[in-house]
């Protein structure tokens, strides 16, 4: 069945103020800009597993109340200045995590369980500042301690794919973790650069297909 | 630094390179093209890298204990090898906020050989105690622009293994913000070989131009002996 793409404006209008919104990589900048244009506020952002330019834009525009991720930077450009100032001035609440904990928590969200055990982490002050991380005696490895982190199942995800087919299956790269975001989020908005009949018939190396079943809204954006 | 890190890598090891790690990335490619042709590495966007599905699969691989080597850095690195990637000052009211832990909090305690790297070797980086422990673990070594530090497991602290050409035990100690004992066998770091420098310039840096364009431009533009190809 042919999927009916919607406009960015329509897709983003479904996201209320104060929603928990996950952002993937590469960032769906067209959708993020629409969120800013619509003046959304109080958002709880989830950067998977890190944050970059999209996070900077949303903080600068006053859309974000909190951010959960394992790090924010601008690659070779260095530190993310808006993020840094927002945390220093107390206008952004940072929920610090670490990449494997973010990904295990998303896997828990994707699998419908409420938490995930994560190895390592012991000795890190993250355990001091994350009151929701628990350390327990590992029930299956006597004498060992293990950290539990709560599942992440964001209400919304804004993701960007390469292309879609007429059924709404989306082709994405294999380098990042957006598939897991699509699995864990409750409402997924995907932007793609084109929709074509044979969009999923031939995959290049480094491409994979996200089933249309995960996709709640499909937006075609300019190249 | 890249040559000193490359020498620390052994043939056949499985090595991961994280974000913002151009020097370790160059070191891995250099090692692979010189003494460690069977090295396997994770380095997204670079030809020859292991095609893991997302960073999730790579971190799972490390969590299983199958990754041999990873590289971490720190805004601050302390005498006990702990790293701080988060804040200067109090966590809840920071004077300066930095990017965050990335994968370090999990990888540092579980990867067998973690190599720390930091070009700036100064008392503000090498502090007695970090303001925030982003990650704690046992470092294999610390490579800076002045020296290679080792880790005394018995004492649980960093020690001086070798000072780079032009440096001395005294100059490295003066640049370190905590008492840095020298190992009895302390020596000068072997300088980069002409072959290492040639491979870096002719083969490695061009491979990294897509991922780290500014780093590569700086490396190829610097020094009278090197020129862009």
Residue A1: predicted pLDDT: 55
In a domain, A202, yes or no: yes
Strand, coil or helix: A47: strand
Residue A165: predicted pLDDT: 97
Residue A222: predicted pLDDT: 83
Q: Is the peptide bond before A26 cis (omega within 30 degrees of 0)?
A: yes
Residues A132 and A195 both lie in one domain: no
Token pair for residue B189?
């770091």
Residues A136 and A172 both lie in one domain: no
pLDDT at B227 over 50: no
Task: Give percent of chain B above pLDDT 70.
Answer: 97
Residue A2: predicted pLDDT: 72
Q: pLDDT digits over B10-31, tens only?
A: 999 999 999 899 999 999 999 9
Residues A135 and A204 both lie in one domain: no
Residues A190 and A85 both lie in one domain: yes
Residue B224: predicted pLDDT: 44
Residues A145 and A158 both lie in one domain: no
Residues A43 and A99 both lie in one domain: yes
Cβ contact B63–A120 (<8 Å): yes
The CATH number assigned to the domain holding A89 equals 3.40.1080.10
The interaxial angle of helices A81-89 and A53-60, nearest 10 deg, is 50
Residues A40 and A145 both lie in one domain: no
Mean pLDDT to the nearest integer, B169-198: 97
Q: How far apart are CA B172 and CA B49, in angstroms?
A: 35
Q: pLDDT digits over B212-223, tens only?
A: 999 999 999 865
Q: How far apart are CA A35 and CA A159, in angstroms?
A: 13
Residues of chain A below pLDDT 50: none
Task: Give percent of chain A above pLDDT 90.
Answer: 97
> How many distinct structural domains can be found in chain A?
2
- Mean pLDDT of chain B, nearest integer: 95
Token pair for residue B92?
């809840």
In a domain, A157, yes or no: yes
pLDDT at B65 over 90: yes
Residues of B with CB below 8 A from A46's CB? Answer: none
Strand, coil or helix: A87: helix
Residue B229: predicted pLDDT: 31
Residues A25 and A105 both lie in one domain: yes
In a domain, A67, yes or no: yes
Strand, coil or helix: A78: coil
Residues A34 and A97 both lie in one domain: yes
The count of CB pairs under 8 A between chains A and B is 131
Residues A137 and A92 both lie in one domain: no
Cβ contact A124–B133 (<8 Å): yes
Write out residues 140-199 of B within 8 Å (CB-CB) of A. none
Mean pLDDT to the nearest integer, B81-92: 98
Distance from CA of A61 to the nearest CA of B (A): 19
Q: List the domain range (segments joined by +) for residue A130.
A: 117-150
Residues A83 and A28 both lie in one domain: yes
pLDDT at B147 over 50: yes
Q: How far apart are CA A153 and CA A145, in angstroms?
A: 25
Q: How far apart are CA A196 and CA A162, in angstroms?
A: 11
Residues of B with CB below 8 A from A183's CB? Answer: none
pTM exceeds 0.90, yes or no: yes
Q: How far apart are CA A178 and CA A162, in angstroms?
A: 12
In a domain, A45, yes or no: yes
Q: Strand pairing partners for B77? A: B83, B126
Residue B221: predicted pLDDT: 87
In a domain, A193, yes or no: yes
């Amino acid at each position: 069945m042919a999927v009916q793409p919607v406009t960015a404006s329509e897709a983003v209008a479904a996201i209320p103020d104060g929603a928990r919104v996950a952002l993937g990589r590469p960032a769906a900048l067209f959708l993020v800009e629409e969120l800013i244009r619509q003046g959304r506020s109080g958002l709880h952002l989830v950067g998977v597993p890190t944050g970059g330019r999209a996070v900077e834009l949303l903080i600068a525009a006053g859309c974000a109340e909190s951010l959960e991720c394992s790090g924010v930077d601008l690659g070779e450009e260095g530190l993310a200045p808006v993020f840094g100032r927002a945390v220093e001035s107390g206008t952004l609440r940072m929920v610090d995590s670490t990449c494997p904990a973010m990904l295990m928590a998303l896997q828990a969200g994707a699998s419908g369980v409420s938490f995930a055990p994560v190895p390592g982490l012991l000795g890190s002050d993250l355990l001091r500042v994350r009151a929701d991380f628990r350390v327990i005696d590992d029930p299956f490895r006597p004498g060992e301690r293990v950290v539990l982190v709560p599942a992440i199942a964001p209400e919304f995800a804004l993701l960007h794919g390469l292309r879609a087919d007429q059924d709404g299956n989306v082709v994405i790269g294999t380098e990042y973790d957006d598939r897991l975001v699509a699995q864990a989020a409750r409402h997924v908005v995907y932007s793609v650069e084109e929709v074509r009949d044979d969009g999923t018939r031939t995959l290049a190396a480094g491409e994979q297909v996200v089933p249309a079943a995960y996709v709640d809204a499909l937006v075609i954006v300019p190249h | 630094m890249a040559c000193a890190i490359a020498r620390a890598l052994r043939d056949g090891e499985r090595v991961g390179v994280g974000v913002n790690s151009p020097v370790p990335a160059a070191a891995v490619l250099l090692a692979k093209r010189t003494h460690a042709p069977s090295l396997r590495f994770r380095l997204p966007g670079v030809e020859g890298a292991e095609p893991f599905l997302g960073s999730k699969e790579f971190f799972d691989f490390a969590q299983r204990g199958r990754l041999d080597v990873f590289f971490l850095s720190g805004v601050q690195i302390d005498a006990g090898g702990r790293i701080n990637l988060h804040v200067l000052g109090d966590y809840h009211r920071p004077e300066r906020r930095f990017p965050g832990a990335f994968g370090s909090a999990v990888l540092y305690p579980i990867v067998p050989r973690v190599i720390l790297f930091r070009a700036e070797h100064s008392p503000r980086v090498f502090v007695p105690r970090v303001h925030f422990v982003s990650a704690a673990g046992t470092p294999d070594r610390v490579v800076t622009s002045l020296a290679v530090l080792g880790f005394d497991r018995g004492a649980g602290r960093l020690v001086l293994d070798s000072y780079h050409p032009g440096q001395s035990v005294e100059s490295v100690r003066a640049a370190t913000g905590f008492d840095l004992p020298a190992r009895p066998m302390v020596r000068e770091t072997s300088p980069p070989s002409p072959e290492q420098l040639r491979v870096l310039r002719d083969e490695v840096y061009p491979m990294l131009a897509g991922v780290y364009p500014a780093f590569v431009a700086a490396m190829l533009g610097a020094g009278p002996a090197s020129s862009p190809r």
